[in-house]
Structure 1
Amino acid sequence: MPRPPAVPADKIVDAEVCARAGSTIARRFSAAELPRLREAGGQDGSWIEAEFQFSEFDGKPAVAGELQGTVVLTCQRCMRPVDIALDDTFQVILVDAERSDEPGGYEPVVVKASRLDLAWLAEEQALLALPLVPMHESEDCGAEMAAGEIASTEEREDDAEDAEDAAGATTHQPFQNLRDLLRKQ
């Protein structure tokens, strides 16, 4: 069975000890340190700053956190890089087994509290904060297209209109007689 990847000691904390002490920890992570973010399309230049405020709730370690940063993704409109700004907060409670009825409005996270990987938690929250479909603002995206791309797009549209006109003469309408058939019954 393969071992989990080695994680530097400064990214692993004992959340139970931190919760009892009421600690606050701040870390900065680059794209190279966040493999799941890279798998989701995060490119070089992406970074996340996270602040973790530990406390105890109902005898369990809880974390209130803030994320700021920039994730460089591919715009799904123009297929060029787009910077997505992250500014998010989260509240999680660390549990041994998943339950849906955690009190206090905390999102349960199943993890061994004595070995909490801060990079993993920041990456998890960043993935949840990302947009489903990353895109430039509409005016920015159009300005990003090169003049040649716009010209070729217009040519393709003209060709499509010509093809529609030619096909319009022989359009088949399969449900044209459906109303007559229903009336006969």
Structure 2
Amino acid sequence: MPEAGAMTIRTERLSLRMPEIDDFAAYAQIMASPRSVGMGGPFDLRAAWGMFCHDVALWQLFGHGALMIELGETGECVGQVGINHGPLFPEKELGWFVYEAYEGRGYATEAAFALRNWAFATLELPSLVSYIAPGNAASVAVAERLGARLDSIASRTDPADLVYRHLAS
């Protein structure tokens, strides 16, 4: 398993790195906003902190977790990508979000593609899923750009969620 702070994946434009305490303020802000509705929010500070800690703890517990998305040129944090698991997720989930000011630039797709490929190569998973709230057209578009396909029979915690399946190639 990666040591704390040691996991980094680089792409053409991005650096995906372990979360740091300085990332929490922006994380808590998006979780408190209406943009978190598709993740079950909005969340208060206590719930956001628990989710942030969950994202970090997954590395110790499962050998995967969340990575913050940084612009390679500036080091600016623009969002998060992660592989979720645990009792709240029927399967390992590839998830992502980008802060509002950075949407529409392909960062979520680029980051999710890199982490998905890392997961397939390193964790040797046969597949991952992405749980997406109905009406979240931006996330559906990311999943489809990644080659994921709707899986109507996949298990899900929220029966309303769309489940997109990513297969290892």
Q: Under TM normalisation by the shorter chain, which class is it?
A: under 0.3
Specify the structure having the higher radius of gyration (Cα).
Answer: 1
Whose strand proportion is higher, 1 or 2? 1
TM-score, length basis structure 2 = 0.22
TM-score, length basis structure 1 = 0.21
